[in-house]
Amino acid sequence: MSSFKKIMARFRLNMACKKFVSRDILIPSNLSNIKSILVCLPPDQRQLTMVKNLLPEVTRIFADAKIYLMASPGSSIYDIFPRKGYYIMTPTGKHLRWCGLPRKEFIKSLEENKYDLILDTNFQINYFCQMILLSFPDAVRVGRANHLGQPYYNLEIKTRYIRDERNIYKSMIETLDRLINFGRTETNEITG
C-alpha cells in the first residue's frame, strides 16, 4: 500500500474513532450467549496455519454459534481452511475503497450476520480489519493486549508470551473459555 493510501486510511480511521461509541460488555453474560462469530484472519501464511489449528477449540467453546472466517483482502483461504462448519469470506477489490478500507456496502452485508463476537487474529496493523471492528459497537471485540487497544477492542487478552505466536493464539482462546466457564461455575456453586 502506498504511503498516501496509508495516510488516507489512517485519517478515515481517526475520523471513525472520534464518532465511535463503544457499548459496555458484561463478562461472562455477553460471552455465554454468542450466536455469530467473525474471525478476522491475518494475511501471513504461517499465522493462518496457527489459527486453523485453533478452530476446533473455537468451535467447541462456541458450539451453538455460526463461525465466519474473513480473509485479509487479496488473500484466498479456501485451500487452507475447512468449509464444513464455517462460512468463508474473501474480500476482493470490489469490497475495498481505493485506500484499502472496506466499502459501506461490504460492511452492510456483514451487519446482516449480526456478529456477537469479533476475534481479531492479526498481529500487524490491518486497517481493513480495524474499520470492521469499529463497525460493530455492540459486539464483543476481542484482540491481544498491547496491540491496538481502544477503541478497536473492548476485550483485550494479555498473555505472558511475547513473540510465540502459537501460544499467544492458544492463550487467547483458553482465556475466552475460562471467562465463559467462570460464569457457569459461579452459577453452579450458587444454585448447587
C-alpha cell at 55: 478452530
Domain count, the chain: 1
Distance CA 106, CA 103 (A): 5
What pTM was computed for the model? 0.87
Q: What are the tens digits of pLDDT across the range 1-49?
A: 578 888 999 999 999 989 888 788 888 888 888 999 999 999 888 888 8
DSSP assignment of 66-86: EEEEEPPTT---TTTS--TTE
144 - beta bridge partners?
Answer: 157
Q: What are the tens digits of pLDDT across the range 151-184?
A: 889 889 888 877 788 889 999 999 999 998 875 5
Residue 80 belongs to some domain of the structure: yes
Residue 17 belongs to some domain of the structure: no
Residue 5 belongs to some domain of the structure: no
Distance CA 183, CA 27 (A): 8
Q: What is the CATH number of the domain that holds 77?
A: 3.40.50.2000
Distance CA 86, CA 110 (A): 15
Distance CA 106, CA 82 (A): 23
Residue 1 belongs to some domain of the structure: no
Residue 9 belongs to some domain of the structure: no
Q: What are the tens digits of pLDDT across the range 73-128?
A: 888 787 787 778 899 988 988 999 988 899 999 999 999 999 999 999 998 889 99
Domain residue limits at 153? 23-191
